[in-house]
Each structure stands twice: as C-alpha cells, then as structure tokens.
Structure 1
Amino acid sequence: HASNANRAFSNATAFNQDIGSWDVSKVTDMSRMFYNAHAFNQDISSWNVSKVSTMSCMFYNAHAFNQDISSWNVSKVSTMSYMFYNAHAFNQDIGSWDISSLTNAAGMFKGTAMTVDNMDNTLRGWAKLDTAAGESAIQSNITWGIANYTDATARQYLIDTYHWTINGGVFDGNKTIKGGHDADTLHTTATKTTLHGLGGNDTLTGGTTDDILVGGAGNDTLTGAGGRDIFDYGFKNAGNDTITDFTLGNTKTNTNADIIDLSDLLIGYSATSHLSDFVTAAADGGAHTKLTINHNGTGSGNSVTIILKNVAYTTDLLTNLIANGNLVLEAIKPTLMITGSGGANTAANTITFNFSAAIKDGSFTVDDIGITNGTINSGSFTKVSETQYTVMVTPSLGGKHSNVGITVAANTFTDVVGNTNTTIAKNTTKISNLKDQIDINTDLTHWDVSHASDAQKAFFNATTFNQNIGSWDVSQVTNMSHMFLSATAFNQNIGGWDVSKVTDMSYMLHAATVFNQNIGGWDVSKVTDMSYMLSSASAFNQDIGNWDVSKVTTMVWMFWDAKAFNQDIGNWDVSSLTNAIHMFKDTSMTLNNMDSTLRGWAKLDTTAGESAIQNNVGWSIANYTDATARQYLIDTYHWTISGGSFDGSKTIQGNNHANTLNTTAKKTTLHGLGGNDTLTGGATDDILIGGAGNDTLTGAGGRDIFDYGFKNAGNDTITDFTLGNTSINTNADILNLSDLLIGYDS
C-alpha cells in the first residue's frame, strides 16, 4: 500500500479515469495529487482518507473537478492551503468536514465556482464544533481563504472565538445586512432579508415579509415586524436575547407563525435525547416566557437565553412550540419523491402514484395534490404511514400523446429550509421548460418522450437534476437549445441518443459544469446552430473530432470557458460556417491540437465531401505555431482570426513580404508566409515552410522537412536536398505533400 500520493497525477492534463475504487487508506500525503489535472472529474467520494495529513494544492488548477466529497474523513489533515485553487468547476458543501487538525487553509477556494449557499454551509459547518460527531477541536490562528458569502455570523464567530484570519470572498449584500462589533440598529423594508447583528448588543427589526434575524454575540433585541420570521441561533456566544413579537401558531397552516431555529446551536441533540438537557422554559415576569438553551446538553459552559415577550408560559408551551414547528431543534431536509407505475400508453389505464417524504406531515391530504390531464380516483388516496402515501389517477388524454402531470402544493412538506414541488409525466410531446415543473431530482428514466419534438430549456437551471435519461428516445426532437443550460449537477451518459433530427444545439450544455460524457458518436448532420453549445461546460473534454458539422453556420463562443476542452477537430467539415468568434477562448487547447485544427480547417478537402470554405468568417483561436495555415485562411478566404498568441519558442515566422529567416537553434520550424522568402535551417533537423511566393529553401544540416500544405505555395527552390533512405540515413531530407494533395491515395 502506497503512503505517498504527492503529485501522482500532477500535470496529467488529459487524465480522467475512474479511480474511485482505489484503496488509499494508508496514504498520508495527497498534496498536489491532481495539480493541473485539468480534465479530471471522477467520483472519489468513497475514498478512505482518514490517515491523510496534507491536502495542500490537491486540486490546484483541476479545472473540471466537481464531485461530492463531503463525506471524507479529513480529521487528520493539517493543511488544505490552496486545495481547490482555480478548480473552476468546484462547487460543493463541505461543511460536515471534521477540521480538528486543520492549521492552514490559505487560498483554499480562490478561483472556484462556490455558490453563496455552499460557502455559507461550509462556513457554518466549520464554525460548529460538533463533538457529538467526533470532532475534537477547532484550532486557533488559522488562515482561511473563502469564496463569496452571506453568513457573516459564522465567519465572525471563527474570527472572534478562534482568532482565525479569513480573507478572500466578498460579502453578498443583495438580500443580507450585517452590523459590526459595536451595538447596531439594523432594520429592513425589503422583502425576505437576513440581518446579522454580529458583536455588541444589537437591535434588529425585520420588514413586513418573511425575514431571518441573527443576533450574533451580545444581548440583542429582535423584532420580526411581520410575516414569518426565523430567529436563527448557531453559536454558543449568542448571549441573552429578547424577541419582542414572537407569533405562535402552526407553521403548516399559519403563514405568520414565527420560528426559532436552534438546529445548528445544539450539539448532539436527537429525537431520543432528553429535551430538558438542552432546552427549558419558564415564566418571566408573568406575561413573558424565558427559554434557556444549553448547547451540548451537559449543563456546562455558556447558556443562551431567549425572552419571548408577551408569550405567556404554560407547562405545555415547549411541547406545543416543537409540535407546531415554532421551535426547530434538528434539521431534516424536506425532500419528497414521487414515483408512478401503470398507465402505459392508453387513456384507459390507471396510474398509481407513490409519495415518499423525508419528514412526517399529518396534514397532507388529497387536496394538496393537483392533476393535469387526469382525475384522481375517488377514495384512492391512502396514507400508508406517516411518510408514505399513494393515490390512483385515471388519465384523460383523448387518445393523444400528452402529459399526465401531478404536483404537490408548495409548503406541504417543509421545514425552515423551504418547500418541495414536483411533477411526474408520461407520453409527452413537449419536454421543454421542465424546470418550471420539476424542483427536485426526480426519476425520469421511464418517461416516453418518443413523440417529443421540442426539448428547448428542458432542464434549464435544474441545478440538482442528475437522473439517468440515457435511454430516452429523442429521435423526433428537432430543438435542443438551452436543454441543459446551468444544469450544474448533470453528468449522465447520453452518448447513445439519436439526435439525427436536431437542428439547434445552441446553449445546449452551457454552464453544465460537471458534464463530461462521450457524445462523439452523435449524428449532428442536421444541426445548423452550435453557438455557446459547450461554453462554460468546464469539465467537458471528449473526442468529438468525427462529428459531421457540415450544415453548422455558427459556432460563436462554442467552447468559451470550457476550461478542460483540448481536442483536435481539424477533420470538421466547415463548408457552411460563417461565424466562430470567441470559439476557443479560455480553453485548454494545446499547440498541437490548435495547429491540427488550423491546418484541417484551412484545407478544402473536396474528396471527403467538403464543398466550400466560406469567405469573411470571424474565428477566435487559442495559442498556435502553424502561422502558414492561419495566414492561408486570412489571405485566401479573408478570414478575421483573433485570439491566441504565436508560440515562438521553437518556431519563427515571417510576414507577407520577402523575408530572410535562419536559425541556429535545434529543431526549429520556419514559416516564410507571403513574399519570395529565403529560409535557412540550422545544423539539426528543421521544418521549412515557404508559404505563398517563390521561396528559396536551404536545410543546411540534419534531416529537414520541406512542408507544403496549400496550393498558393508558388515556385520554390530547395538548394541542398539530401537523398537517402530515411529509415537508415538520419540526414535524408523529406518533402511532405500530404496536406497539399487532395484525393491522392496509394
């Protein structure tokens, strides 16, 4: 068993193999393991990293990586400095990590795609010393580089309590207000605002809608003012607070009933705990109630108290607060899964829908269910258990292929996190804009979409969707534009889809940041628009060199910001192409692949079926050395080629005038370009490309290659061509016409 994985895949820019089953249980060093592994994006969530002590720079410049590694046991890791630096796709909540040994996390999230939500969850998780989960300590004086955030309270708690230095990231004040270390008076008139008092004895007042009030350290006075307000407590330094207008009521039925959320404050609480060890209630001055909270249930350490003004104490008050959802002691994600069976393709069949909820809800009734193109069978709604329900539906499709939709009313299965809606459909002719219906990650494997022609925006912004839809019959679909735009979790094998009728793939996988499946076998011969198709698809790097793109007119921004993309697509038939600006901006294209693409596109290969190279095309490329191919497109077809830099480290180029170029360096390529040039190689093997004009070429020594790619080469003279068998004579020269000749074979 290896103990050191330092630099194991460092600079392996194309590596993307499944190594998720590796036994890394004895590895102690994973620093720089995937450094510059631009394409790597495999599931390694099951790795046992419990002995690892250093993860510094582990995913540095791993542009495509975005896997859920939240379950890793990192309790022995002392340094995570620059761990995800410039891992452009990385966007995961790792708030559950045990950071007991961590001493350095500088630059950790710089250049990642971390959302505010995931950064906030990580901030709050790391600021919580979860001894019940085995976490033993939070070390002091740590430097941590974060991303943009809103949870100013969690950030400040680490700074004040453990003397952390937290830099990087910007506070997002769009819907959040924060105070300072002194006594602040904060209020809002905007809708759904979060207020962070931070230090000092603060006065926080919400608006008329649902707000979140986080007093922070100090003795704070909190007023919700209107709507359903959440009074949020995450840390044991919360002090002694007063809530002036707490509204009682069942949070399922009363939209103004307020919530006190202690789920992040309480350590070790569960449904089997003794409530009185953690929270007690008592009368305060007759008309008020005082809650006393012991964050770990041991009776030691600081206690937090909350005065509920004008809420009279009764012996069953605490029980009622919990039952009605006014007091949240532990967080349970309110997910709901709906599955359907039956109802194959005829309107007469009955469909049975099954509901499986993650939380109990005794108030869920048939009235919470909505049906389209069908009716609920009378008396069929059945409560199987506190979390399991079934209902039977008879479709009314009128003999047509259409949707049978089922929705659950918002806020039916909910806690302080939010609400869940979903739709199940069968026999559909249109699968566009599904995100308007699907808000959870529903199983769509068995949908019959064989009659659908429009998939535009089907999973647009469906940020959690990642179901196996590879078996879908999409053979009738003509429009896939925006289909997976910003579907940031989607990475399923759809390489077997029949897309032969699709004409529009614009924005299809734009910002699908983890998608990296083999779609090289797709028949795209009818597609005319590939603009932005894979832009910001930061993980994508598959061989699509055999695509028939002969009808595509626009490839503008096609691979822009597809940071892992590095493929030779020189075989593409660009007969119809009129615009390709910004195509390769911010990709990983190597010089070899860019040069091969340049030369391939500049060659009008009529024997392969290419009919034309259009004039006046705009094209943005990556760094290159093949100046001759680039100049041929500019001179012959009047292309405007921008972007990319000429790499002169082993290449010399002239211009469109008569040049005299020579080299003394080893193995140099000389491009004369236009004009009647004089090119002279050095004493070793060189490549001489005269380009347009009547050129004089001298190899001078070694094995020289005189390369001809384009028909404007003119009438050249080679002054010192050395004959001989190239298999045995290392000085025998080569005249290469392979790219110049169209249709020749042996």
Structure 2
Amino acid sequence: MSQENLLNAVISSNIDEIVNLLKSGVEVTKDIVSEADKTLKEFEKQSKKNKALLNDTTIEHTNQYRIYKMLFLYMKGYELKSILTTYGYNVESKQIENKQKVKNKKDLIKMLKDDTVYLGSLDISKIDDFSELFKSAKKRKDFKGIDLWDTKHVKDMSYMFAGFDFKKVKEGSDDLYNWIKNLDVSNVENMAGMFFGAKSFNQDISGWNVSSVKYFDSMFSGALSFNQNINNWDVSSAVRMNSMFRHAESFNQPLDKWNVSNVSLMGFMFYGAVSFNQDISMWDTTNVEYMRRMFDGALSFNQNIDNWNISSLLTNIGHREELETNYYENEDVYCMYGYHHIAPKDITINEYKKVVYGFDNKTNLKYYKPEKTELWDNYFMFKYAQFDCPAKPKWLDIPEKKDGKYKPVTRLQLFALVYDEDVALADIDISEITDLSGLFYSSSISKGIDFTGADGWDTAHVKDMSYMFYKATDVVFDINNWNVSNVENMERMFSKSRYFNKPLHKWDTANVKNMSYMFAGCEQFHQDISNWNVSNVENMEGMFYGCRFFNYPLNSWDVSKVTNMSKMFKQAYYFNQPLDKWDVSKVTNMSEMFMQVYHFNQPLDKWDVSNVKNMEGMFYNTGSFNQPLNSWNVSNVENMHAMFAYSKHFNQPLDKWDVSNVKNMENMFGSSEKTKEYMKIFGIK
C-alpha cells in the first residue's frame, strides 16, 4: 500500500507527501521513477514555449495565468525528479546524480553525526581517507542508504569501525551490513585497527579484494565475536600483521592459503586468541623480523610449525625482560619453551626447539642460571601456548676455550658466550662472525653486562651491525678502532641508546648501504663524523632523529645514492649546518626531514628535488627556517601536507613552483604568516 501511495503522490506531484513517504523508508521502484520521469519530460516540452510567452505583453491575462500554472508544475516536476534522484535512483543512467558532494572528510564526519542526513544522498567520491570515520557515528542509529556509497577510491580504512557497536544500529542495519559485505576495498592500503574493539562485529567479508593492503595491524584486535572465513584473501602485499587477531577470542578459521611472504612484523598476532588452532605450518615466514609474543595466551594453539624459517628475526635475539617467579612451574626445563635467552636469528623453529629442549633439568644447566635468566623475544612467541614436547635432543655445542680464547663460528654460539657471566668479552675471538645484529640489544651494565674487552674485537668480517646497541643504555667502551670496512647494514645500530656519545670518526663506512635510524633517540650524541664515506648509502631515513644536540658539519658527504631522507634530522633541535653541496637528485622521500629542527636555517635552493614525491611535514615547526626555495623543481611531488605548518618565520615566494601533481596540500602552511597568500598562489580553497 505504501508504494501505491508513493506512486499516486508522484502522479499528483504532491511533494510533501513524497518526502514523508521516502523518509518513512518506502522503497522507490522503477515504476515510480518512470512516472516521475514521464511527468518531467512532459513539462520540459512546454518549458521553452511557456517562458517565451511570459514575455509577450499581448497575451491575455487568462493565458498568462495558464502559463504561470504550467511553469509551476514544471518546477514541481523538476523538484520531484531531484528528490527521487537524491534518494539514489535514476531510470536512464541508473546512477546517482544530483547528490550532495562532500568536499572533505571533516564535512563527512559532520554529516555522519547528523541522524537527519540520509546517507544515500551523499557523493563521497572525493574522500579517500576513511580512517576513524565511524568514531563520530557511535550515536547514529539510522544507516539507510549507506549501501549506495562507492569506496573504490578509498586508500585508508585504518580504525574505521574502531569501538563501533553494531548492535546499536536501529535503522538501515541491512544496508550497513550489505555495504560492509560488498565493500570495494581494491585500492585500500591501510586496514590497521579497522575493527579494533568492535566487540559485536561478525559479518561475512570473505569476498573482499585486499590485494593492495599493506597494513593489517590490530585489524580484528578485540573483535570478540568475529569468526568468519577469510582464507581466500590475497594478503600478498601485506608487510605488517602485528596484533591482527589479538584478543579475537572467537576466531578459529583456516588461514593456510595466506601468502605472508612479504610480512615483516607478526608480533602479538594471535595474542589472547584463545580459540585459534589452525594449521599455518606452510606459511612463508622468511621475511618476518618480529614475532614477539605471537602466540601468547593462544591457549588452544597446538600446531606444528617446524617448517617455519625465522632467519630474518631481529627481535627474538633482542629485547629482554626478567623472568617472573610463576614461570618456574615446570620441573623439566625442556618443556619451558624459551625460558632462556637463546633465541638465535639464523635458525628455523625446529632448531630453536632443540636449543630450548637441550637439557634434562634445572640442575643440568651449564651456561644458564635460572634465577638470573633473562628472556629473548622468541620466548614470548610461545608464552602460554601449549605445545607437545618431543624427545630431548642434545645440548647446543658451545666452543671450548683454547689458547685463552673462545672462537665461536655461529652467531648463536656468540650470543651464548656473550651472555655467560663467566666468560669475559676479551676472551672471545669473533674473527669468523659476520653478523652482530642485535648483539647488545637493550643491554647495560646494570643488567649484568660487562663490556670490558669488546673494544679489541676483530670485526673485519662483519657485514651486519643493525640493532647492535639498540636501547643499550650505557655503552661505555671505545669502539672507534673497530674495523667496519665490510659492514653493509647499520640500521638502528645505536637507536634509543640515550646516553651514547662516543667518537666514531675513525670508521671506514664505505660499504654501508643502510644507515636508517642509526642514531635515532641518541639524545646525547654529538660527535664529528664529517669524514665518513657514505657514498654507498641508500637509506638515511631517521638517521639523526631525536639527536637533540648533534650539530657537526656534513656538507662534504656524498649522498648521491640516497633515496630516502624522511625524518633524517627530525627533532635534532640544534642542528644548523650547511647542506647546500649535497646531491639529493635520487631522493624520493623528504617527509618530516627537518621537522622541529628549531635552529636550522641554511640555504637549500641548489638542491635537485626533481625526483621527490613526498614532502609532507618537511619544514613543520622549523622555528628559524626562512630560505629561498622558489627554484626547486617540485613537479613530481604528490604530498605537501603540513609542509610548512607552524614555520612562523618562513615567508619566501613560491610562485614558480609547479604543483600540478600534488594530491595533498591540507594544512600546508598551517599557521604561517603567509598562509593566505600561498593558498591564493596555489589555488587552494
């Protein structure tokens, strides 16, 4: 009956009745739209003729009245069609037109908060960021029409439904669930936290095309009810899955088809996923670097993962925490799964078990004293997860002392010796070791590490020193004489070593390719390294991030191979040295490069930035910077978001810049004095 009423209202052009019926949820059928279309076309036929007659003063009054009436009907018909198309229907094109175009995410959030706004009337084609979108819609009860939203252009859906209570949806729940089920996510790159804390969510999303998604961190974390089959998802682009199913207490679906070969982070992935017990033995974990507490609290999990290759793991040989008393419950140490700080980087899970099981009981520990045991991260990978203990294999072969020296040939042996308090570092010959990554990760004298003798180590064959002193709070020994001529990787070598401030000017760094975050968080570091040969370095991202006092010349550096300088000097508050001689022609990312470098004010106008694509936040809150940049070729830059925001002194002309490829200029000048002028130059509205 309600559709019949709507049809009659359309035929009689009763606009008020039409609106009331539509708001009550009456479905607009094709017949109804056809009738409206027919009426409008009839009015349009008379339109030109009637308008012309209005201007003819010779026409009698009665005829003029007739014409006015016809025009009135024409306008009603036009209004009728407009209303119907606003509600999402068009007979001829079958596409939504005359919709309200939403200009930006801020406006969309306002409309989501307003329960009187019909969601089907919104054109969201300009919005590519849906992050935290429904945070503002927690009180909304009417979601009718949302299934008309086209999301094929959206790239970011991180925390989109975080904390959203699906049970509170009163109207349009079918529209909402159908929309989610058929969501076009083909261009989405970020789904981190998408359903974080959405306790009642449990909808079918098996058909999603997630082939572009890189970040799945915390996606279903706290989604207590979720238990849908997503085994057919193409996750081959994924690089991060930290906490993906953390506390997803109901989830127990197959994931064996997943291609995780590009994933580097899996920490806490199944933390507290108490129901999960699926076969994931065939996962390719070769590139995974982080698995901390991956199965912590996964009480049901009891699968064989002997085939996993954890050769890339960094954190399992790194961060240590003290053992709590209640972890000593087992009589047989071999069943304690990693209650010891041997979790080597260069072995498979199966080999790892051999190390863990390799002794009969507590009294038989040769190199480890339980009362002082410190844990490596791979312990946390299995914490609380119940595994079947196999037969006890042999204990790891630790080299005996010969001619006054221990000579380890594997990284595992070196770790065992370094953390044996009865072995002096001076007595360890590391001349055959090529990988020192993570060796003193989070170490300190206060935790029982005596660095004496390490200054004389033969490091000539070492290629990897990444994370070596990460979070090492008191590196007091001199390493300036180390031979680092073969080292290729120094990523985060001293990162977060807050008090590190030792000379390094003698180092030959000619072969180093990666210096990303090398000194990040070294708050006290202030040493002259101007003579370093960095000609082969490709990545300097975050290199001096947080080095508050660093202020030595670097202008002589050959940075011609560097492609990433993002965050390079971020929060290096006092840095103010010339860099105008740098060849930055290969750099593609300069985002946040000088962010909060309060004293920096050096000329950069000679830089070739023609290949840079990202300048987001580059000079954000640089208190002193005010140098000419008008000569820069920024034709390839796509992101200038907040580039000069809060740089109060910057007032240089930029009228020669070609910003035709820039996609994001939001808050580009923040509260800078020349905001209005620059916005006018670039046509920002």
Same fold (TM over 0.5): no
Bigger fraction of residues in strand: 1
TM-score under structure 2 length normalisation? 0.39
Bigger fraction of residues in helix: 2
